[in-house]
Amino acid sequence: MEEKKQMLSVWSWVGIILSVYGLIITGAGIYYLSRPETVTALHRLNPSLWWGAIIVVAGVLLLLAGRNR
């Protein structure tokens, strides 16, 4: 029997890219949280940690959307 190869949806690729970028940004946010050497205007809010987590969640949602198609 011949198996059909299925291509990944574009949503899956975007989800993978967003998840990887989000993990990198979240990692940087955790690093800066543990070593507060630089002081910026928003250093108390730690925007890289929050935005990294939001990007990871968006990436996972897109991965799930691409998987269901």
Is pTM beyond 0.75 here? yes
Query: What pLDDT digit, counting tens, does each position of 5-52 carry?
Result: 777 788 889 999 999 999 999 999 999 888 877 777 877 888 899 999
Instruction: Kindly tell me if the per-residue pLDDT of 60 is higher than 70.
Output: yes
Delimit the domains of the chain by residue range. 11-68
d(CA 15, CA 6): 17
**pLDDT of amino acid 46:** 87
